[in-house]
Each structure stands twice: as C-alpha cells, then as structure tokens.
Structure 1
Amino acid sequence: MNGVPFPLFRGKQTLPAVPDPAEHAQCVQSRNPQATLAGVDGVVLIYQRSLLNFARRHLRVGPAEGWIRGDLLLLERQGRSYALCGGFGVGAPAAGLILEQLIALGARKVITVGTAASLQPDMHSGDIVLCNRALRDEGLSHHYLPPSRYATPSPGLTERLAAALHDRRICSRSGATWSIDAPYRETDDEISRYAAEGILTADMEAAGVFAVASHRAVEAAALFTVADSLIDRQPRTNSPATQASLRTALSIALTALGEGAQPTAGTRARQ
C-alpha cells in the first residue's frame, strides 16, 4: 500500500538526535549542583492533579523546584527514596519530554500511574489494570523505536508490580492498552476491533513512555485505574472508586520500585 511513511524520515530511530536531554540536566545543575535523581529508587509519573495533591497531604514529600518542566516531589519511605512527578500535562509527547528530563537527571526506574478508559464490558470504574503491552497508535513512540505493533514495558518491573498486587491481595487485570494521542477521535470501528482483540483499555501515554525508556535503556512500567468506558460510553464522573484505586496504585508503584533496592540513609536529591 502506497502512502506517506511515518515518521517521514525512514530509519531515524537509529540516528543520533541534535538536542540532548543532558543539556537540560547541565543547565539545572549549573544553578543547583544537588539536583540529581541518581540516589532515588524510582520515579512515579502522575497525571491526575487529585493524586498529586493527595501525596502532598499524606506522604512525607518535599518539592524539588526547577528541576524539570513540571512538579517534582521527593519522598522518603521506609528507608528508601523516591520521586513523584506530575503537573506536566497529558499525552505521550508531554510524558516523553518529562521522562527524558528525569532520565538525564539520573532516574533509572519509572512507573506511570494514571487513568484509562475500558474497552471491555466487565470492567468498571476503579478497576486496576497492569499493562503488559501498549498498541502504538500515538506518534511519539515511532520516533524512538523501529516499526512494530506494540511497545512493551520492563519485564522485571512489571513482575514486581504484579507481585505487589498479589501480596496486597488486590484484584487486578493484566493486559494490553491502546495508546492514542487523539482522545476525541476514538471511533466505533477502532473500539470494536481492539476490544475483540482482547485489549483492555485506552490510554494516552504508555506506548510513548515504554518507547523512551527502551531507547534510553531504563526500566518503565504502567498501572492504570479505569475511569470511564468507551464501549458503553460512560463519561468520567470523578468516581470515588477511581480516586481510591489511584491511591492504591500509587502505593503499589512505590512498593514495586523499592523491591530489591538497598535502603538509603536519606534522599541525596533533597536540598
């Protein structure tokens, strides 16, 4: 089939880029030499402002201002250190930009925690989904990885999420998501096809996050909470079940990031 290729420049995934995220880290560290994430056990990407506000109120966090294009909170928990990152927007381009900055500052493990729409009739608001692959229907991942149908998370980090869910006896589903960065262009034909293939959810970021992480040789995984449905269209209602599950997902993500890590005396990144 003839058509315009995407990306337009074939094979660009193998070519070096002119802008380098290290430039961002160097600029930040020229103002604040303590700006490093090399000492943290991992970073959680947060998309819902309500969850970030919950973390500010209920977790022992401190701000790391001016390190990234977003809100960065440093957290100490049970002798380990983490970072929570939010306020950077939604969609694969926003997540990809912030992930590049986090990696340049030293992050090596990242879990994305957010909401998704259900593609299956037996899934409801508040259900937790562990993503094991992401259908690449957004644009960002194609600039990082060669053509393929799916982008995949880190097996080890995904297994640690599964173990944390099991240990806490939290009911969840594991499966694929459809990552699309055009949230008002999800059509009946697409939804029916992907639902029939067994894809569980639709989201905006997972494929992009997995692609950037793979390109940069770091670990990334994703945990979703169902917020609405695309098959029996139910707009988001800010369900209490969804909010509660987001808080659970954050706790599970922190547990998975800390699994196997050595306790630290303190968060070296804290100012």
Structure 2
Amino acid sequence: MQFPNFKDKYAGDSLFSPEDHWKHKIERGDPPTFHPPTGAIFCYQEKMMEYVLKTHKTTKVKGFLDEMYLITETNDQVAIIGGLSKGAPAIVTIMEQLIALGVKRFISIGIAGTLQKGINIGDIVICDKAIRDEGTSYHYVKPSKYAYASEKMIERMKKSLDTHNQKYFVGTSWTTDAFYRETVAEVNHYQKEGVVTVDMEASALFAVAQYRNVEIGVIFTISDSLAELQWDPRFHLKEPSEKLEILYQATVSILFR
C-alpha cells in the first residue's frame, strides 16, 4: 500500500488554497484586520505564552485565531501564536494561512521527549531534520525518510543561542502522530540511530516550508525521557518552563531583521 493512496497526488493542483480561505472571509465581510507580520513564533505551552504576555508589550490580533499577538518591540513584524492544538494537521493549517498572508519565516518553540541518555531535562535541542513518521508531510513532498529544517534558520538559532551563552544540541527528531503508540521497539531502533528527540510536528513543518519556499526552524527543550525504554515525564519541573522563556528571548530577534 502506498501513501498517499492516490498515485498522482504530486502532479495535481489543489482544489482550493489558503488564499481561497482569505478570499472567502473577505467576501463575507470578515477580512483580516491586521497588517500581516513577516515572522511568526509557534508556542505550544501555556506557561511560555503567559511569560511573553506578562513581560513584553503585545497587541492581540482580532479575527484570526484566539491567541495571536503582534510583538511591539519588533514593530509588529513578528507574531507569537499560542493556544495551539498538538499534532501536524492543526499546526500546518495555521502555517498555510499565515504563508498566504505573507509570513516568510517561522520558528516553532516547544517541548520534546528525548531518546538519548546523554540529554537531560531542560536541555535545548535544535532540530536539523525529522523522521517523517506522520501523515501530513506526505501530502506536500514525495516520500523520504527525513524532512529538513532551513539551513539559514539553523545557523541563526545557533548563533543566537551562543550569544545568550546557552548550551545546546543539534540533532534529529522522530515526528509521530501517535503519542500513545511510541513502541519500545521503535524507541530502541531510533535510539541506536542516534535520534535525539520525539515530537509531533517538526517533519510536517519542514515539508510545508519546503513546498511553500519559506524558512522554518524548530527548537525544543526536553520535558520527558524515553531513554531508559520507559516513560519518565518531567513536565512539571521548572527547568522546561525556564528554558522556554530563554528560547523565546533567543529566537524573537532572529525573525525581526
């Protein structure tokens, strides 16, 4: 069985597009009421969003998403988007709509589980490529084991973290749709391959960026571990939340330039 099921998937034009979404809203008298930013930060954790809104001046965008804010210190050229559902289909839909408005650069900041014993809770990982074990990416680019981050974005993130005196790792993530079907055999296999993290969005974000010719970077802090072939959740500790704050500080300037 092949995937996608329709063999000529990649030769066909889409029946409707993100631009059609905005055209429909305009026709219904509900146009975007904000000047689109050039960069966007995807924020999955509530505590990180609370930190940004508490410590930085922002303007809430009306008429598009429940939690989208333009960041004043960037002259409203960068937006942060919270309240996101987990998983590739949801985040890709939002990314597509933002690209249609003119957003060209994205950074996804989130938490991930580690597969490696040498990676600790609260460590920072720049994802340079991701194993495509989700379904969304295959509707954008032809099958391959990996999808890749934007090289320029990787270098900018590394440079910014160096400037902020932050230790970090660079490595591969395993992107999967099924949080509760990460099997022992899979973890053992990817651990031996040197895969650093497991997440639910990265490979799809990379595929969309490739397809739409925009830049994307994905960066994690470690919140749980599968390295001992059992789940060790540490979401509640202060280290992941503190590192998310640092990651915001280190990455917002990358998008504002």
TM-score by length of 2: 0.93
Count of aligned residue pairs for this structure pair = 253
CA offsets, 1:25-57, max 9 Å, x none?
Answer: 2344542454341xx341000111111122111
> Is 2:51 aligned against 1:54?
yes
Distance in 1 (CA, whole Å) between partners of 2:106 and 2:213 is 12
Aligned positions of 1:238-249 closer than 5 A: 238-249=236-247
Work out the percentage of aligned pairs sharing the same amino acid: 34
Q: Greater shift after overlay, 232-241 or 93-102?
A: 232-241
Query: Structure 1 or 2: larger helix share?
Result: 2
Aligned match for 2:15, one of 15, 18, 29 = 18
> Is 2:3 aligned against 1:6?
yes
CA offsets, 1:187-246, max 9 Å, x none?
Answer: 111101111111100000000111111111111110101000012320233210000001
Aligned positions of 1:58-137 closer than 5 A: 58-68=55-65, 70-77=66-73, 81-137=77-133
1:264 corresponds in structure 2 to none
Q: Greater shift after overlay, 144-153 or 27-36?
A: 27-36
TM-score by length of 1: 0.89
2:163 corresponds in structure 1 to 167
1:266 corresponds in structure 2 to none
1:179 corresponds in structure 2 to 175
SS in 1 for 2:106: strand
| Residues 239 and 217 (structure 1), Cα distance of their counterparts in 2 relative to 1, 3 Å cut | same
CA offsets, 1:139-183, max 9 Å, x none?
Answer: 000110111100001111111111101111100000100000100
Distance in 2 (CA, whole Å) between partners of 1:132 and 1:222 is 8
Greater RCO (Cα-Cα under 8 Å, separation 6 or more):
1
Aligned match for 1:45, one of 34, 42, 45 = 42
> What is the root-mean-square deviation of aligned Cα atoms in Å?
1.5
Structure 1's unaligned 5+ residue stretches are 262-271
